[in-house]
Amino acid sequence: MAEHHPQAQVHPVPDKIAKSARVDRERFEELTREALENEDAFWNRIGQRVEWIKPYSRIKDVNFDLDDLHIRWFDDGTLNVCANCVDRHLDARGDQVAILWEGDDPERDEKITYRQLHDRVCRFANVLKRLGVGKGDRVTLYMPMIPEAAVAMLACARIGAIHSVVFGGFSPDALAGRIIDCDSKCVITADEGMRGGKATPLKKNVDRALSNEDAADRVDSVLVVRNTGNDIDWDADRDHWLHEALEHVDADCEPEEMNAEDPLFILYTSGSTGKPKGVLHTSGGYLAWASWTHEIVFDYQEGEIYWCTADVGWVTGHSYIVYGPLANGATTLMFEGVPNYPDNSRFWQVVDKHQVNIFYTAPTAIRALMRGGDEPVRKTSRESLRILGTVGEPINPEAWEWYYNVVGDGRCPIADTWWQTETGGILISPLPGATDLKPGSATKPLPGIKAALLDADGKELEGATSGNLVLTDSWPGQMRTVYGDHKRFGETYFAAYKGRYFTGDGARRDEDGYYWITGRVDDVINVSGHRLGTAEVESALVAHSAVAEAAVVGFPHDIKGQGVYAYVTLMAGREGDEKLAEELIQWVREEIGPIATIDHLQWAPGLPKTRSGKIMRRILRKIAANEHDQLGDTSTLADPEVVENLIENRRQV
């Protein structure tokens, strides 16, 4: 198909940013060249970001072939990740704020300096030790966004325990499944969490999860943070209050010397495409990559206030709230609440209150706020903002422009960062001081990252083209295995294309070498033999002034093979009728071409999303195909009612 791609407006690097940037154009070229011509020197530069106990002598030992699949970096070095994030800053910036906590309730906040963080982490680590947790043990965290969540992660890292953070919005069943999968001996939780003024019964959910015998058999102790102070049930043999346990420990806790390849954490993927996978990350390479990418992608400068709005239950929270920023000695803002509580201005009020310089969020939040109009943004200053970022899904150019012009007042570069739970850190992204921006494009691979596009047969495609996105070589932050299932690791990521890591995503590369992620390869629609990326059709829909959000899937079609089925959420106050449906269908045909003719358009008051806010197209595909009795794994679905509503309305078609 003659693909039609409207000429993107280019936003050049602002002079002011370029002048002071950590990486400007010239430096970017140098780094890229070094990574190609002198690989060892380049990776050694990344490895040197870590303070090693025993320096490594080997840099990289990687084989992507299925019969001997292994990934090792800096593998004879030793370190402690917690010491790298906390102890090493004590001399130079002990009194600087490490964690700046903003409560769900706008009246509540807390500043924790590096010295205070050190004290809290050491005591917490000693509590874990007293509960019998040691090196290599798995600990499940089921926490609200309070400082103890980060403290608990760092405490695990300090004693060499492997944390598995489960998002606090997950159900007891989902929690039990994850406890069993990684065989956790300890669960850390809070009585309740607060989000948007509502309490979530975290401890109660843990009790329910542990009513599953399989889970209960594994867990010796549940450590509970008193957060809201409301009543909870108690099992005296198993449950421990953190504040009581802390009375019996001191603040001396030597960090455990860990090998670079010792596991740091397990984290389950979002479940957008199927059953979540227990992604395993190790210590040295992961930390080096999180630290380096945090610095260059956000152009982080000493003393800046940095805010990533993710939850620690997602990889973004791991790499870019906790490990990356703290390794770099940054002040990282941790937010307990939601974007629309008490009202739609909350994010920007927090930005003004704490004078945030760098702000990193997800397209789902941007689209939701865009739906509420400009006014809640405009009435705040946001003058402190310098750099913006997004992650999680393709961002439609429409939402990008709104983020850029309204939130950033046309002044702040946007880092559209493509990466995955599996990649540990950002792989494709612009650098604020080096890359001209095209709205909707994650732009170029970072230095050292070997991205390629393949056709279905595994042939590497050159130049401007579309294909399946792979990485042909490793980077230090890459996942090492699926926990407990190395075979699944191979089958999932290395079986499709021999010797290459398959991301599962499709992408287009333009004449400037910029990458445009078109969505998951499973989501591509094949209309009369032509491949149509869902992201493209969705972007066209969202570009219409009546549309707030859209999801597009294929469905079986007698003549075309697959037809195009669109679910459309309208802007607040708009009503969907036959006339508007016709108009939208015509609009998309004009934007993309006749191949993108929507066969069926359904109004959707809401779209099914994962709890991290990503659209679950696999569920929409089932509804479109009238197979709603086979929805598959729905444990990560945020709001089941949305699905019921869509099924109900589908039936009437």
Among 102, 262, 304, 416, binds ligand ATP (CB under 6 A): 416
Query: Contact, 377 vs 407, CB < 8 A?
Result: yes
Among 276, 313, 339, 439, binds ligand ATP (CB under 6 A): 276
Q: Does 269 bind ligand ATP (CB under 6 A)?
A: yes
Residue 544 annotated as binding site: yes
Residue 56 identity: Y
Residue written as token pair 């102790």 = 221
Q: Does 270 bind ligand ATP (CB under 6 A)?
A: yes
| DSSP-derived 3-state class of residue 597 | coil
Among 357, 421, 481, 602, binds ligand ATP (CB under 6 A): 421
H/E run at residue 222: strand 221-225
Residue 622 identity: K
Residue 383 annotated as binding site: no
How many residues touch ligand ATP under the rule CB under 6 A: the total is 25
Q: Does 272 bind ligand ATP (CB under 6 A)?
A: yes
Listed in sequence order, the residues at least 6 apart from 392 whose beta carbon sits closer than 8 Å to its beta carbon are: 316, 362, 363, 364, 612, 613, 614
Nearest CA to 147 out of 91, 107, 195, 190 is that of 190
At 19, phi and psi to the nearest 5? -60, -40
User: Which region, judged by CB under 6 A, interacts with ligand ATP, from 79-87, 246-254, 270-278, 284-292?
Assistant: 270-278
Strand pairing partners for 113? 97
Q: Does 273 bind ligand ATP (CB under 6 A)?
A: yes
What value, to the nearest 5°, has the Cα angle with vertex 321 and ends 244 and 145?
Answer: 45
By beta-carbon proximity to ligand ATP, the closer residue of 271 and 447 is 271
By beta-carbon proximity to ligand ATP, the closer residue of 285 and 317 is 317
Q: Does 517 bind ligand ATP (CB under 6 A)?
A: yes
Q: How far apart are CA 248 and CA 150, in angstroms?
A: 21
Q: How many C-beta atoms lie closer than 10 Å to residue 68's C-beta?
A: 7
Q: Does 515 bind ligand ATP (CB under 6 A)?
A: no
By beta-carbon proximity to ligand ATP, the closer residue of 155 and 540 is 540
Among 614, 617, 621, 622, binds ligand ATP (CB under 6 A): 614
The answer for 16, left when phi > 0, alpha when psi is -120 to 50, beta otherwise, is alpha
Residue 636 annotated as binding site: no
Among 505, 536, 538, 549, binds ligand ATP (CB under 6 A): 505
Query: Contact, 317 vs 326, CB < 8 A?
Result: no
How far CA 228 is from CA of 131, 191, 195, 319, in Å, comes to: 24, 7, 12, 27
Q: Does 78 bind ligand ATP (CB under 6 A)?
A: no
Q: How many C-beta atoms lie closer than 10 Å to residue 54's C-beta?
A: 12
Residue 553 annotated as binding site: no
Residue 227 annotated as binding site: no
| DSSP-derived 3-state class of residue 66 | helix
Q: Does 351 bind ligand ATP (CB under 6 A)?
A: no
Question: Considering only residues 431-460, where is the footprint of ligand ATP by CB under 6 A?
Answer: 442
Q: Does 398 bind ligand ATP (CB under 6 A)?
A: no
By beta-carbon proximity to ligand ATP, the closer residue of 73 and 418 is 418
Among 317, 324, 392, 433, binds ligand ATP (CB under 6 A): 392
Nearest CA to 612 out of 313, 176, 278 is that of 313
Q: Does 414 bind ligand ATP (CB under 6 A)?
A: no
Q: How far apart are CA 301 and CA 2, in angstroms?
A: 44
**Residue ranges of the binding site for ATP:** 392-394, 416-421, 505, 520, 531
In the annotated binding site, the residues are 195-198, 316, 340, 392-394, 416-421, 505, 520, 528, 531, 542, 544, 547, 589
Binding site membership for Mg(2+): which residues?
542, 544, 547
Residue ranges for the binding site for CoA?
A: 195-198, 316, 340, 528, 589
In the complex, which residues of this chain contact ligand ATP (CB under 6 A)? 269-274, 276, 391-394, 416-421, 442, 503-505, 517, 520, 612, 614
